[in-house]
């Protein structure tokens, strides 16, 4: 199978994730879309690794997963805290720091 | 020894100013004593000088090196020759008498100690001026005189008019001082030094253009200090100071400095005939200007101030004539020192007895109340109008004769102008005399209902007046007999002889004639009939003369108003242009940031859009660059 197809899939997933980040209001969904974008990037990295015949891309993908896991922990904690204090998970409501 | 001459009054000024309340009771005696110490020193040096002959008479004293920098060698050094000696004797003697007089005159002033400190400072500065051996040190004395005059004219600083007059004197003098400083700089670039001896000795070998420039700058300086047209306007207002100050300024210090400067720099002027012509013109114009102003003033001190201006004009004119006139300029300066000091002290004595009234139309008949003042003032009066065989007769006639000696049309014009001046002198002085001491009493109670009780002044005031009266009577005869004064000054100033179309006798006769004419004219107007207490409106010339011949209006129109417009214009430019640029920059930055602020709308998603947009642009740019 042509490995380029994986790249098309990766671009599609990334675009879906980006649209979700830009268009959805619910912080949880935005968060999941961010994860989607990260994994789209991972897919591209692994594909490149396969195409070039070395392991660099795969190693980088592991790094991304580790960072994503850490990010999930911090991000979810923030979302939960915001929800507790404001009874809303909308990203648009959390705009208190503008003038 | 010479240093002490300057040092004694300087010490007095310092001690009195620093001493504070401790010296409140004794300070004036200390100041007078120190002035007298200077006088005694001066007399000792004078006797010493008489013991030597000719060239050896000049003394030099090098005190210390002031500014030794490569080619610039400024020393604090004194030079005492016949010219300086004449001035030193005049300054210390008249100065001491005025100190003595001030003890009585300022007896009730709460700031008397300060007054005497300034008087001492004035003496010290003036002595430094005439004793300096180079132009730079002379400049120090010159500025010191300016400072002391400022302090003394504005001594009654609680009066706004006095404060303004002091400021005016200071500012006008500053204009002259600029001239002196430029002259000194020119001397330094031309001669490489500013000591008298090398500068004056080398004057002949220098280009005439340079010398004319130096001469004109020196003249500007002299005009400022000696109140000559066009820098004369401060002198009348300077009458706001206490009367002893006026006497000091007009007789012994300050206004004589200009004549001294011109005479001292004689070698420069001799080699620059154009500058000399300007000096003559300035002298002639001032001589008439002052006399006309003196004729119209009702304020006794201002009338005398006009008279001073006119007499200094005579001296300037004489100094402008070159070696023919230098000696007589100085001779007239000395005799003038005596009778003008006598006149001012007399005027002060009259004011002292009349509750400080200065309007002569409110005097009248005072000879009965103040006999000593009347007699001393009268003798000084006879001396100034040139009554035969009194001081003014000898010195003024010599100047008029020197004017005629210029020869040709110039000689006749100068002689004519000076004779006219002599007639005017007789006129305004007789007018002062008649208004003050003759006629009926015209004084009235002042606003508080105090009627003045004219009385003779205390001895401390009358003794100086008597001494000065003796000087006014005898000085001229003493100087003239055997041409004593001429022989005395000749080694310093040189002596020239012109060929006059008229003889000495004719000049003396003519001068006496116009003097009588002036006296009779004044009697015709003020002696025959009672004098109105309120001055009549008068013709245009009288009205103009009362306003000092419009000098203030002229200065105002030509200098002050354009100056104001200039500053106003500059302020406008500053506000609109400079501030405009600064404020405009700030406003545009502020406006821009106000608009940029809206981008920060607080919505995380719009930030995300800009982030994606930015990333997209970066990627696109990278791809594009690679494609190219």
Rg (CA), chain B: 31
Q: What is the mean pLDDT of residues A11-24?
A: 92
pLDDT number for residue B590: 93
Query: Is residue A97 less than 8 Å (CB to CB) from chain B?
Result: yes
Tokens of B27: 């300070």
Chain B residues lying within 8 Å of A91, measured CB to CB? 603-605
The Cα angle at residue A33 between residues A32 and A34, in degrees rounded to 5 = 90
Locate the domains of chain A by residue range: 4-86
User: Shortest CB distance from B602 goes to which of A23, A25, A95?
Assistant: A95
Query: Is residue A91 less than 8 Å (CB to CB) from chain B?
Result: yes
Over pLDDT 70: what percentage of chain B? 99
Chain B residues lying within 8 Å of A97, measured CB to CB? 602
- Looking at per-residue pLDDT, the higher value among B372 and B550 belongs to B372
Tens of pLDDT, residues B276-314: 999 999 999 999 999 999 988 889 999 999 999 999 999
User: What is the pTM (predicted TM-score) of this model?
Assistant: 0.79
Nearest CA in chain B to A25: B605
pLDDT band of B616, cuts 50, 70, 90:
very high
| pLDDT surpassing 90 at residue A61 | yes
pLDDT band of B202, cuts 50, 70, 90:
confident
- Looking at per-residue pLDDT, the higher value among B628 and A23 belongs to A23
* Residue B278: how many other CB atoms lie within 10 Å: 18
Architecture of domain A4-86: Orthogonal Bundle (1.10)
Q: How far is B612 from chain A (nearest CA, A)?
A: 8
pLDDT number for residue A98: 65
Nearest CA in chain A to B594: A99
**Helix, strand, or coil (residue B304):** helix
Tens of pLDDT, residues B306-359: 999 999 999 999 999 988 889 999 999 999 999 999 999 999 999 888 888 888
* 3-class secondary structure per residue, B238-296: HHHCCHHHHHHHHHHCCHHHHHHHHHHCHHHHHCCHHHHHHHHHHHHHHHHHHHHHHHH
Query: Is residue A87 less than 8 Å (CB to CB) from chain B?
Result: no
pLDDT number for residue B603: 81
Q: Please, how many CA atoms are within 13 Å of residue B396, restricted to the half-sphere of its CB? A: 36
Average pLDDT of chain B, as a whole number? 88
Q: B600 vs A98: CB contact, 8 Å cut-off? A: yes
Q: How far is A88 from chain B (nearest CA, A)?
A: 15
Query: Is residue A90 less than 8 Å (CB to CB) from chain B?
Result: no
pLDDT number for residue B544: 81
Query: Tokens 């003493």, residue?
Result: B478
Q: A91 vs B604: CB contact, 8 Å cut-off? A: yes
Highest mean pLDDT among A87-91, B424-428, B444-448, B553-557: B424-428
Query: Tokens 């604090």, residue?
Result: B76
Query: Is residue B604 less than 8 Å (CB to CB) from chain A?
Result: yes
Pick from B327, B182, B314: nearest CA to B266: B327
pLDDT band of A41, cuts 50, 70, 90:
very high
Count H helices, E strands: chain B? 26, 2
- Which is it for strands B59-69 and B72-80: parallel, antiparallel or unpaired? antiparallel
Nearest-angstrom CA–CA distance, B100 and B244: 10
Instruction: Return the DSSP state at B84.
Output: H
Chain A residues lying within 8 Å of B605, measured CB to CB? 21-23, 25, 30, 91-92
pLDDT number for residue B608: 87
Chain B residues lying within 8 Å of A98, measured CB to CB? 600-602
B226 close to B253: Cβ distance less than 8 angstroms: no
Nearest CA in chain B to A30: B605
Query: Tokens 């500012």, residue?
Result: B171
pLDDT number for residue B68: 85
pLDDT band of A99, cuts 50, 70, 90:
low
For helices B391-404 and B408-437, the axis angle rounded to 10 degrees is: 160
pLDDT number for residue A91: 83
Nearest CA in chain B to A19: B609
Tens of pLDDT, residues B510-546: 999 999 999 999 998 888 888 787 777 778 788 887 8
End-to-end CA, chain B: 97
User: Shortest CB distance from A97 goes to which of B602, B608, B612?
Assistant: B602
For helices B300-320 and B408-437, the axis angle rounded to 10 degrees is: 160
User: Shortest CB distance from A22 goes to which of B600, B601, B609?
Assistant: B609
Task: Report the run of H or E that residue B472 belongs to, with start and end.
Answer: helix B459-480
Tens of pLDDT, residues B479-519: 888 788 888 888 888 888 877 788 888 888 999 999 999 99
Over pLDDT 70: what percentage of chain A? 97
Tens of pLDDT, residues B151-175: 999 999 898 999 999 999 999 999 9
């Amino acid at each position: 199978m042509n490995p380029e197809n994986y790249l098309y899939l990766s671009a599609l997933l990334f675009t879906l994730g980006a649209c979700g980040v830009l268009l959805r209001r619910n912080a949880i969904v935005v968060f999941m879309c961010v994860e989607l974008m990260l994994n789209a990037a991972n897919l591209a990295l692994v594909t490149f690794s396969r195409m070039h015949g070395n392991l660099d891309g795969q190693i980088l993908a592991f790094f991304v997963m580790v960072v994503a896991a850490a990010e999930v922990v911090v991000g979810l904690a923030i979302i939960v805290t915001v929800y507790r204090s404001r009874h809303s998970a909308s990203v648009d409501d959390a705009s208190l720091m503008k003038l | 020894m010479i240093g002490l001459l300057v040092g004694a009054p300087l010490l007095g000024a310092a001690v009195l100013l620093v001493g504070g309340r401790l010296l409140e009771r004794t300070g004036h005696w200390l100041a007078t004593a120190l002035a007298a110490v200077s006088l005694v020193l001066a007399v000792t040096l004078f006797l010493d000088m008489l013991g030597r002959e000719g060239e050896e008479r000049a003394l030099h004293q090098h005190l210390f090196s002031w500014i030794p920098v490569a080619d610039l060698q400024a020393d604090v050094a004194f030079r005492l020759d016949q010219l300086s000696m004449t001035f030193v004797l005049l300054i210390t003697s008249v100065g001491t008498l005025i100190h003595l007089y001030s003890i009585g005159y300022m007896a009730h002033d709460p700031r008397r100690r300060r007054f005497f400190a300034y008087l001492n400072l004035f003496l010290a500065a003036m002595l430094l001026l005439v004793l300096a051996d180079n132009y730079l040190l002379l400049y120090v004395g010159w500025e010191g005189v300016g400072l002391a005059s400022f302090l003394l004219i504005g001594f009654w600083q609680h009066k706004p008019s006095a404060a303004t007059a002091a400021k005016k004197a200071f500012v006008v003098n500053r204009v002259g001082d600029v001239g002196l400083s430029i002259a000194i700089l020119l001397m330094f670039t031309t001669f490489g030094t500013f000591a008298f001896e090398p500068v004056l000795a080398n004057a002949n070998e220098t280009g005439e253009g340079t010398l004319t420039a130096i001469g004109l700058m020196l003249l500007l300086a002299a005009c400022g200090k000696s109140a000559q047209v066009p820098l004369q306007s401060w002198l009348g207002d300077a009458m706001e100071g206490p009367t002893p100050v006026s006497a000091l300024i007009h007789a012994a210090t300050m206004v004589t400095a200009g004549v001294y400067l011109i005479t001292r720099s004689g070698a420069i002027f001799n080699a620059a005939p154009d500058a000399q012509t300007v000096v003559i013109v300035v002298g002639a114009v001032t001589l008439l200007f002052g006399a006309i102003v003196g004729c119209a003033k009702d304020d006794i001190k201002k009338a005398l101030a006009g008279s001073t201006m006119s007499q200094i004009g005579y001296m300037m004119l004489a100094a402008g004539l070159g070696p023919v006139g230098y000696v007589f300029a100085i001779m007239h300066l000395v005799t003038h020192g005596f009778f003008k000091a006598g006149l001012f002290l007399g005027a002060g004595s009259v004011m002292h007895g009349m509750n400080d009234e200065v309007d002569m139309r409110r005097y009248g008949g005072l000879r009965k109340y103040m006999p000593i003042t009347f007699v001393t003032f009268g003798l000084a009066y006879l001396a100034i109008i040139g009554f035969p065989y009194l001081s003014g007769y000898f010195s003024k006639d010599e100047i008029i004769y020197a004017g005629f000696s210029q020869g040709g049309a110039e000689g006749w014009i100068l002689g004519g102008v000076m004779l006219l001046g002599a007639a005017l002198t007789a006129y305004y002085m007789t007018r002062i005399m008649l208004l003050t001491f003759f006629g009926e009493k015209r004084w009235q109670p002042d606003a508080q209902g105090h009627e003045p009780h004219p009385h003779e002044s205390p001895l401390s005031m009358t003794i100086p007046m008597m001494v000065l009266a003796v000087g006014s009577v005898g000085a001229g005869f003493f100087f003239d007999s055997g041409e004593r004064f001429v022989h005395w000054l000749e080694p310093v100033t040189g002596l020239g002889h012109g060929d006059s179309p008229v003889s000495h006798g004719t000049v003396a006769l003519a001068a006496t004639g116009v003097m009588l004419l002036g006296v009779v004219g004044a009697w015709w107007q003020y002696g025959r009939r009672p004098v109105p207490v309120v001055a009549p409106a008068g013709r245009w010339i009288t009205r103009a003369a009362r306003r000092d011949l419009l000098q203030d209006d002229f200065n105002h129109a030509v200098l002050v108003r354009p100056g104001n417009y200039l500053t106003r214009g500059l302020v406008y430019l500053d506000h609109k242009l400079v501030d405009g640029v600064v404020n405009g920059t700030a406003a545009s930055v502020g406006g821009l940031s106000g608009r940029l602020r809206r981008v920060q709308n607080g919505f995380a998603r719009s930030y995300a859009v800009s982030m994606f947009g930015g990333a997209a642009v970066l990627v696109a740019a990278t791809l594009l660059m690679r494609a190219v």
